[in-house]
A = this chain, B = another copy of it.
Amino acid sequence: MSERENADARKTRSAERNLKRMDGQGLTVAVVGATGVVGNEMVRVLAQRRFPVRALRLFATARSAGRRLPFGDREIEIEETSAAALSGHEVVLFAGGDDASRQFAWTVADGGGVAIDNSSTWRLDPRVPLVVPEVNAHALPAHQGVIANPNCTAATMVMALAPLHRAVGIRRVVVATYQSVSGGGADNVRALLEQTRALLDETDALQDGSLDRIERATGTAHPLAFNVLPQWKWGADGYTEEELKIVAETHKILEADFPVLPTTVRVPVLVGHTVAMHLDLGRPLAPEEARRILAASAGVEVVDAPEAGRFPTPLLSAGRDEVLVGRIRRDPSSATGLLLVAAGDNLRKGAALNAVQIAEALVAERLLPRAPARA
C-alpha cells in the first residue's frame, strides 16, 4: 500500500520535527479513559506520531486499574483516575466520558496543565476553544487550560467544509450521516459483532421482518446489525443530541452561523463515519474547482474518480489520518449548489488524532508546556 506508506512517512517526519522542537526532553502526559476505544487510540497515536512524551501515565475507572496497555515497546499499567494523580501533568488527554471530564478537566487546568477533552462537556463553553487544528488553530492561544476536541462527525464535516467556506462562503448545509458503531464506544462494537453472529442464523427473519425472531436472537427490535438506526439520546424538537451537537460545533469551529440541517444515522460499520452533504454556497463553484481547493487542504484527500472505483468509504478511511472527500457533483438546479461525500476515521481525525494534533499545535506555538500554575 504505497498510499499508506506515504501517510506513515508524513507522520514520521512530523514527529521528528516535534522531537527536535522539544530538545529531546518531552512533556508529562496522561490519558484519562485509556481503556475505551478513543483512549486506546490516543495511546497508539501518541506512539505512532512519536509525540514528545517524557512520562506517560494512563488512567481509567477502578474496574480497569492494574491492566496494562502497550505504548511503543513498553507496557504501562492503568491507574484509577483521581485529581491527585492527574496533578502536575503538562498535558492530559480526556477520553473518559462526560463524568471524568466534568470532574477533572478544570483541575488539570488549575494545576497549570492543559486538558484536551474529547467529551462534549465543555465544547460550547465560551472559555474553551473547540479546535480542529487545520481549520481553527488560531483559537488555541486564548485557551484557559481546557481545549475541546469536537464530535467525531463534526470533525469530519468541518474538514471538508472549512476550505470551501474560506473560498466562497457557505450559506446552507444539508447533511445525512452514516456513522460507525465505534462512535458509540466499545460496547457498541461488541454489540454489532454479537448481533451480526446471531442474525446470520436468522437471515429469513431479516428478510421477512420477523421482529419476534430478531428480538429473540438479539434482545432488541432495533439491532445495530443489518439495520440503519436514527437512535441517539433525543434532544429538543425531535432532533437527536448528536444532530444538535453537529450544528452547534460546526458553527463554533467555523465561526459561522449558516443553517446546518442534519439527519444522523448509525450504520453497521465498525470504524469510519461518512457524511453526504448538499451545500448552498455564496458564489458559484465548479466541481473541478472544489476538488482543487480540497486537494490543497492539509488533512484532506480527494478520492474522486468513481468510474475507476475511487470514492470515499468508511473502510477506506479506517486507520487513515486524512478525511477522504469525493463524489463532488454539480447541483443541476443551481450554480451555487454542490454535492459531496466525506469519510473519516472517527477514532482518529474524529477523536484521538485530532486531540494529539491539538497538543502538537500547542507545542509548535510554544503554548506547551504552559506557564507554571497560578498558585
A residues lining the B interface (CB < 8 Å): 1, 172, 174, 176, 178, 182, 189, 193, 196-197, 200, 203, 206-212, 214, 221-223, 226-231, 234, 237-240, 259, 261, 263, 265, 267-272, 274, 276, 278, 287, 304, 306-307, 309, 311-320, 327-334, 337, 339, 341, 343, 345, 347
Once A259-B334, A263-B327, A311-B230 are accepted as A-B contacts, the answer to whether A306 and B207 lie under 8 Å apart by CB is no
Residue from B208, B259, B337 within 8 A of A333 (CB atoms): B259
Residue of B nearest to A320 (CB): B209
Q: Are A265 and B276 in contact (CB under 8 A)?
A: yes
Q: Are B269 and A228 in contact (CB under 8 A)?
A: yes
Closest A-B pairs by Cβ, 9 of them? A209-B318, A209-B319, A259-B333, A176-B176, A263-B276, A176-B276, A238-B329, A174-B174, A174-B278
Q: Are B270 and A267 in contact (CB under 8 A)?
A: no
Query: Chain A interface secondary structure, helix, strand, loop or mixed?
Result: mixed
Subset of 29 A-B contacts with CB under 8 Å? A176-B263, A178-B265, A206-B270, A207-B318, A207-B347, A211-B315, A221-B316, A222-B315, A226-B269, A227-B269, A228-B269, A228-B274, A228-B313, A228-B343, A229-B313, A230-B306, A230-B313, A230-B327, A238-B287, A238-B329, A238-B330, A259-B331, A259-B332, A259-B334, A261-B333, A263-B276, A263-B339, A267-B268, A268-B268
* Complex Cα–Cα for A209 and B261 (A): 30
Q: Are B182 and A314 in contact (CB under 8 A)?
A: no
Residue from B206, B228, B319, B327 within 8 A of A238 (CB atoms): B327
Q: Are A238 and B318 in contact (CB under 8 A)?
A: no
Q: Are B212 and A261 in contact (CB under 8 A)?
A: no
* Complex Cα–Cα for A318 and B314 (A): 25
Residues of B within 8 A of A222 (CB): 309, 313, 315
Report which residue of A227, A317, A318 has the largest number of chain B beta carbons within 10 angstroms of its beta carbon.
A227
Q: Are B238 and A341 in contact (CB under 8 A)?
A: no
Residue from B227, B316, B329 within 8 A of A314 (CB atoms): B227
Residues of B within 8 A of A234 (CB): 306-307
* Complex Cα–Cα for A207 and B226 (A): 18
Residue from B178, B197, B259, B320 within 8 A of A267 (CB atoms): B178
Residues of B within 8 A of A313 (CB): 222, 227-230
Residues of B within 8 A of A200 (CB): 193, 196-197
Residue of B nearest to A326 (CB): B230
Residue from B214, B304, B331 within 8 A of A315 (CB atoms): B214
Report which residue of A238, A270, A304, A317 has the largest number of chain B beta carbons within 10 angstroms of its beta carbon.
A238
Residues of B within 8 A of A259 (CB): 331-334
* Complex Cα–Cα for A318 and B206 (A): 7
Q: Are B270 and A207 in contact (CB under 8 A)?
A: yes
